[in-house]
Structure 1
Amino acid sequence: MKIAIGADHAGYRLKDVIIPFIESLGHEVEDFGCDCAQSVDYPDYAIPVCERVIEGRADRGILICGTGIGMSIAANKMPGIRCALVHDLFSAKATREHNDTNVIALGERVIGPGAAEEIIRIWLDTPFSNGERHVGRVNKVKQLEDKFSLHP
């Protein structure tokens, strides 16, 4: 799988730790920064990651900021993105099985590298269930997106 990854100043250290981990799982990683502690704006890093996923040039995206909240808000404004903020193993599995998420947001100030690696491993390894109820719910979310999109 090809994974696009981006972080702001509050998440770049975790990003730099998990990139080699993701590569060790056999995935290709495209890093969209940032690479410093100087304050930056999280949407500037969420946008290119999500664009890669929307365009099909990345299979999934990973976003990291201090809490993961800002990144998840920015990501979910983009059509075709289903981003989940995840800080535990159960949610990592459930959001793939039930919501077919294509982007995950993590908070460096909330979880450590060990937890992040396990969350990412589970999220990357878990397929969408394709269960009738889950497909129906994801389709309803897509319908909402279409209804309220400024650019159909």
Structure 2
Amino acid sequence: MTIDSRQLRDALGQFATGVCLVTVMDDDGVAHALTVNSFASVSLDPPLVLWSLQRDAEIYALYESAPNFCIAVLAQDQQGHSSGYAQKGGHRLAAQDFEPGTNGAPLIHNAVVNFECSLERALDGGDHTILLGRVTRVSETNAQPPLVFFGGQYRELK
């Protein structure tokens, strides 16, 4: 049975997700951010999380080999971050949006929470690579509504 990719995408869009930025530093010390909604917890002991990276992403090589990264859960008022860093060619992180984390990966200012991670393993996930990260530090939680995506649109929790 063949599944229509557009139909599958629309069906998967019926699952509400949070929106995150995954951040890394390149070898030249330039910070980059990528918008994802594929973030999930995996294990508390050891502390593991995952996210998936599209194999044909223009910055695939930078992310799939980064030894450290940060996953920032975006707040409702950070929709501009989500839209901006999702654009092709728009992944260079603006200096005013971050500060360096303890592992070198950028922490996003005013995010709901930042998870600093080291790459544990990369796994085949079809047209994506699943990146398993070991959480090495968690920032203080910023008590504000998260940015939510559902049905192809940003939404608010009520």
- The structure having more radius of gyration, on CA atoms, is 2
TM-score (norm 1): 0.25
Structure with the larger strand share: 2
TM-score (norm 2): 0.25
